[in-house]
Amino acid sequence: MYSEKVMDHFNHPRNVGEIEEPSGVGTVGNAKCGDIMRIYLDIDEQGVIQDAKFKTFGCGAAVATSSMATELVKGKTVQEALTVTNKAVMEALDGLPPVKVHCSLLAEEAIHAALWDYAQKHHIVIDGLKEPVADIG
């Protein structure tokens, strides 16, 4: 049912933890399943994401997608990080079962919420980034 990559990222999640004094942090939740995901970003002066960490209180697919999403945003600029959509994360994981697609959405929303937090703090605009509705603080 799950791809090898999903199982690998579930069993050996990358970037678990938190960043002290992050450049941006976003916490989102899914009201239906109750799962919560928080993503921390460390962004340098050039706007490049140097580090990303996550904490996920959620299902296995949410853990795997947070792990992959944090891997994918590292080294990207804040603008490029918008290309890390739930679709991109799913593709990188070789797919998710249809009932688990919403879990990958949580990863996209958490990245957006963290980027929004960074943009707010630095008074910058990231083209195409909308204020996250799901940010639960």
Residues that bind ligand FES (CB under 6 A): 30, 33, 35, 58-59, 61-62, 100, 103, 106
Structure tokens at 121: 């703090």
CB of 116 to ligand FES, least distance (A): 20
Catalytic residue selected from 11, 12, 18, 33: 33
Residues contacting 49, CB < 8 A, separation 6+: 41, 42, 43, 73, 74, 75, 76, 77, 78, 81
CB of 70 to ligand FES, least distance (A): 16
Under 8 Å between Cβ of 114 and 137? no
Residue 76 CB burial class (10 angstroms; 0-12, 13-18, ≥19):
middle
Closer residue to ligand FES (CB): 62 or 81: 62
59 part of the active site: no
CB of 120 to ligand FES, least distance (A): 26
103 part of the active site: yes
Cite the active site residues. 33, 103
